[in-house]
Amino acid sequence: MAMTAFAGAPTQAEPAPRRQSKIALVLLLPGILYLVLFFIVPLVSLVITSLEAPAPDGSGTFQYAFNWQNYVDSVGTYSTQIFRSFLYALLATVFALLFSYPLAYFIGVKVRKWPLLQSFMLILVIAPFFISFLLRTLAWKTILADEGPIVTSLKALSLLGPQTHITGTPVAVVFGLTYNFIPFMCLPLYTTLERLDIRYLEASSDLYGTPASTFWRVTIPLSLPGIVSGTLLTFIPAAGDYVNASQEFLGGASSSMIGNVIQSNFLVQLNYPAAAALSIVLMLVILIIVGSYVRRAGTDDLL
């Protein structure tokens, strides 16, 4: 699984360097060109598009005009959705971490003695990957719907008012984001915890560390690389997601995120400059957050 590798590909000791750099070039060039052409160039054209202005002939097309105003306008108009996206993504990341850590710890450390059970549990963790992302979100929509088992039983217990809903609220959106990205959190956590040397924990308890202080001062620091890549793998896609928040799925009118805005501007209103400007803003904010977070966590070596 990629996440496994993402969590900390073993940094190989001194690769045997060979002098045929021509071979390296031949191996690298096609893939690198592909990424430049279909990843870097699109980002550049996104920047160009974000600076376009409507063509003066009123044909509904856009032309390049170095129109900075697009950024001011779109950020001003959609500041709520931008803020909401990062808030929801943050909440989903925290919940996914709290949910996944005990599970990953159990599979990675406690079940280590039974490799077959370990891989069976791991398969169950990644099982949601293999069923359509949209269908499993729709399944939650039906389960959480007003006629569904959760809402009816909560109402029967008077834990939920008669006029309240779950679907269409921010609660449902954060729930959906959390659920959908739990495997992305769990796998990197598992990879680092699986390699955790139990002798460190034993040493800590030999030195009269309580279980709690052992956990905070030994286990958590040792699993930090997994925490960092898990939170990134959850936070980044969650901030840009628009399926959970869209009204056909778990969201409502008051829970739309920046992804929904980009999608509707690009594909429905055909306001390409606004969509492009918002995409660039999203990308920049994520790069800044990720950069400072990775630096603070002190694990620059993600790849």
Partner 1 sequence: MSASTPAASPLGSAASASTARAATAPRPAPRRSRGLGNWLLPTYSVLALVFLLIPIVYTIVFSFNKSLKSNISWNGFTFSNWTNVCDQQDVCAAFGTSILIGVTATVIATTLGTMIAIALVRYRFRFRAVTSLLIFLPMATPEVVMGAGLAAQFLSAGVPKGIGTIIIAHSMFCLSFVVVTVKARVASLDPALEEAGRDLYGSPSQVFMRVTFPLLLPGILAAALLSFSLSFDDFIITYFNAGTVQTFPTYIYISATRGIPAQANVIASAVFLIAIAIVVISQIVTQSRAKRLAKVQ
**Residue list 173-192, contact with partner 1 (CB under 8 A):** 179, 182-183
* Closer Cβ to partner 1, 128 or 161, answer by number: 128
Q: Whole-number minimum distance, CB 137 to partner 1, in Å?
A: 8
Q: Which is nearer to partner 1, 94 or 290 (CB)?
A: 290
Nearer to partner 1, 34 or 68 (CB): 34
Minimum CB distance to partner 1 smaller for 17 or for 161: 17
Nearer to partner 1, 158 or 198 (CB): 198
Which residues in 233-252 contact partner 1 (CB under 8 A)? 236-237, 239-243, 248-249
Asked whether position 150 contacts partner 1 by CB under 8 A, the answer is no
Q: How many whole angstroms separate alpha carbon 156 and alpha carbon 154?
A: 5
Q: Please say whether the beta carbons of 33 and 27 come within 8 A.
A: no
- Shortest Cβ 165–partner 1 spacing (Å): 16
Stretch that binds partner 1, among 10-18, 67-75, 151-159, 165-173 (CB under 8 A): 10-18
CB of 69 to partner 1, least distance (A): 19
# residues near partner 1 by CB under 8 A: 105
Within residues 26-85, the interface with partner 1 by CB under 8 A covers: 27-28, 30-32, 34-36, 38-43, 45-46, 48-49
CB 177 within 8 A of CB 244: yes
The CB-of-8 to partner 1 minimum distance in angstroms stands at 9
Distance, in Å, from the CA atom of 261 to the CA atom of 245, rounded to the nearest integer, reads 11
Q: Tokens 């930090």: give the residue.
A: 224
Helix locations, the chain, DSSP H: 2-6, 21-35, 41-50, 69-77, 79-108, 115-126, 133-144, 149-156, 170-194, 198-206, 211-214, 220-222, 224-240, 258-263, 272-297
Which 198-237 residues touch partner 1, going by CB under 8 A?
201-202, 205-206, 208, 210-211, 232, 236-237
Q: Which of 21, 69, 80, 292 binds partner 1 (CB under 8 A)?
A: 21
10 Å Cβ neighbour count for 281? 18
104 vs 115: CA distance, rounded Å: 14
Give the CA distances from residue 269 to residues 241, 251, 263, in Å, rounded to whole numbers and listed in that order: 19, 20, 9
> Which two three-digit tokens encode residue 93?
């990341």
Q: Does 288 bind partner 1 (CB under 8 A)?
A: no
